[in-house]
Amino acid sequence: MAIEVVTFGCRLNTVESEVMKQKAEAAGLTDAVLVNTCAVTGEAVRQARQAIRRARRENPAARIVVTGCAAQTDPASFAAMEEVDLVVGNDQKMTEAAYRALPDFGVAAAEKTRVNDIMSVRETALHLVDGFEGRARAFVQVQNGCDHRCTFCIIPYGRGNSRSVPMGEVVAQVRRLVENGYAEVVLTGVDLTSYGQDLPGTPRLGKLTRTILAHVPELKRLRISSIDSIEADEDLMRAIAEEERLMPHLHLSLQAGDDMILKRMKRRHLRADAIRFCEEARRLRPDMVFGADLIAGFPTEDEAMFAQSLAIVDDCGLTHLHVFPYSPRPGTPAARMPQLERAVIKERAARLRVKGDDAFTAHLASETGRRRLVLIEKNGLGRTEQFTLAEIAAGRPGEIVDAVVTGHTERALVAKAA
Ligand code: SF4
């Protein structure tokens, strides 16, 4: 058996899983399952435990190594699992040495934990990768960690404070991926809009975006994974207006639609700021679409406050919604606030999802007749510039097809080659 990687959570974990596999192989590990966990919700942690038990059942002799944000924030609970051979922190998981901390290399089985203080990490080194197996688009980690402390969020405790990858290294990575045939690159991080604050000259995300597009003219499509709209810089707004290769799709970290709840979340924006941002971005780029993260059932949220979250879907013109039922994370301030009943949280999440589905269906319907460039992901399926799924009987994975939208199903556009 080779090395299998099980990845949970965000695109950052996807990038890191690619590097982890390389490092474990280089360390000489041969028979192992690496579980790269997420801690954003209790459900994500539950699924990771389930995956660990399954990995052990299916691979009785393999080494099971657990890492990622759930392992970083609660190493003892994973070390206590008899299925687990080693628990590795988010910083160490990117090193060969971490994968040699196993009995295979003479280390005592009792020493199961290698997790350092993530808040002490000051740099984020870019690990060059050649590509992402079985994926039509490539991801580049440009930033890690977060300096904010939103009251519901456990991420800073899993990933540490914000740190950025120098622009030159990012450009080199993008160029390498384009040389390896990737038509689309996605910039990822934890808090992308804080990019560069720790670098000499403090280049912002907008400058990074324009620098990549200027230095890698062969790159066909650049996508930004998720932003905090209140921190979007002027250069980024100019890039949105002027750079056709910057994809007209932004995923916003909105979290709620009510100002009092946003304050209790310790977010930096108010609902009017989010609406203004979407209006301005759409004025600059009329084909722009927005996705957003929204939490349902945050502590103290009453029906009127929740109604503001429902309303923000229309007010911002959101079409690609990620709805999170509030999940209390151990050690976060919100977990100590008066909690809503589970049933109320679930019911509100369901209503918000329906709202999101309706908005998405309206978006699909509005696309009929339009000309779109579809990046083929696998036979018969791809995504437009707006990141909307499209069924199309043309093109090979990784190719961009010039297409016309002829209709839609419940979850995707239907298109044909133009
Ligand atoms: S900005 Fe807030 S929600 Fe986002 S990672 Fe940082 S603390 Fe978490």
50-77 pLDDT per residue, tens:
999 999 999 999 999 999 999 999 999 9
Amino acid (one-letter) located at 64: I
Closest atom of ligand 1 relative to the 267 alpha carbon = 2
Question: Considering all CA atoms of the chain, what is the largest pairwise distance in Å, rounded to the nearest integer?
Answer: 64
243 & 148 share domain: yes
What is the Å distance from ligand 1's center to 223 Cα? 20
CB of 73 shorter than 6 A to ligand 1: no
> Do β-strands 63-68 and 381-383 pair in parallel, antiparallel, or remain unpaired?
unpaired
| Predicted pLDDT of residue 1 | 62
Name the domain count of the chain: 3
Helix axes 342-367, 303-316, angle to 10 degrees: 20
Q: Are residues 316 and 354 in the same domain?
A: yes
Tokens in use for 279?
Answer: 């209006």
Report how far residue 327's alpha carbon sits from residue 339's, in angstroms, rounded to the nearest whole number.
10
Q: Is the CB of 271 under 6 A from ligand 1?
A: no
Indicate whether 317 and 377 sit together in one domain: no
For residues 272 and 384, state if they share a domain. Answer: no
pLDDT in tens, 350-379: 999 999 999 999 999 999 999 999 999 988
Give me the CATH number covering residue 30: 3.40.50.12160
Residue to substitute in 157, 190, 266 for testing ligand 1 pocket (most ligand atoms within 8 angstroms of CB): 190
As a whole number of angstroms, the distance between CA 37 and CA 44 comes to 8
* Same domain? 94 vs 203: no
Q: Looking at residue 106, what is its pLDDT?
A: 82
Which residues, listed in sequence order, are joined to residue 86 by a DSSP beta bridge?
65
CA distances from 5 to 2, 16, 37, 266, 300 (A): 10, 10, 11, 35, 39
Is 127 part of any domain?
no
Report the alpha-carbon distance of residue 96 to residue 102 in Å, rounded. 12
Asked whether residue 182 is assigned to any structural domain, the reply reads yes
191 alpha carbon to ligand 1 midpoint, in Å? 7
- Ligand 1 binding pocket includes 9 (Cβ within 6 Å): no
231 lines ligand 1 (CB under 6 A): no
Domain C-terminal end among 116, 147, 162:
116
pLDDT of res. 104: 82
For 236-263, the pLDDT digits (tens) are 999 999 999 999 999 999 999 999 999 9
Cα of 40 from ligand 1 centre, angstroms: 10
How many other C-beta atoms can be found within 10 angstroms of the C-beta atom of residue 197? Answer: 16
CA of 328 to the centre of ligand 1 (A): 15
- Judge if 266 and 354 occupy the same domain: yes
Q: Are 259 and 413 in contact (CB under 8 A)?
A: no
Q: Is residue 133 part of a domain?
A: no
| Ligand 1 pocket, residue 155 CB under 6 Å | yes
Of 158, 160, 188, 163, the C-alpha closest to 41 is 158
| Residues 7 and 148 grouped into a single domain | no
190 lines ligand 1 (CB under 6 A): yes
- Residue 208: CB within 6 Å of ligand 1? no
DSSP 246: B
The segments of the chain whose pLDDT lies below 50 read none
What pTM, to 2 d.p., does this model score? 0.93
**362 in Cβ contact with 316 (< 8 Å):** no
Of 317, 337, 363, the one marking the end of a domain is 363
Residue with the smallest CA separation from ligand 1 atom 4 is 191
Whether residue 123 lies inside any domain: the answer is no
pLDDT of residue 125: 65
Q: 215 and 316 share a domain?
A: yes
128: in domain: no
Per the document, the length of the chain is 418
Nearest to 281 by CA among 239, 225, 244: 239
Residue 403 sits in which domain range?
A: 371-417
Q: Which atom of ligand 1 is nearest to the CA of 153?
A: 8
Listing DSSP states for 346-383 in one string gives: HHHHHHHHHHHHHHHHHHHHHHTT-EEEEEEEETTEEE
> Is residue 14 included in any domain, yes or no?
yes
**DSSP state letters, 92-142:** GGGSTGGGG-SGGGT--TT--EE---GGG------------TT-SEEEEE-
User: For ligand 1, is residue 253 a contact (CB within 6 Å)?
Assistant: yes
Clarify whether residues 63 and 200 are in a common domain: no
- In a domain, residue 121? The reply is no
150 inside domain: yes
What is the domain-level CATH number for residue 182? Answer: 3.80.30.20
Mark whether 104 and 231 lie in a shared domain. Answer: no
**What CATH number corresponds to the domain at position 384?**
2.40.50
Closest residue by Cα to atom 8, ligand 1, is 153
Same domain, 36 and 177: no
Query: What is the pLDDT, as a whole number, of residue 135?
Result: 79
Whole-number average pLDDT of the chain = 95
Backbone angles phi, psi at 357, to 5 degrees: -65, -40
Do 194 and 107 share a domain, yes or no? no
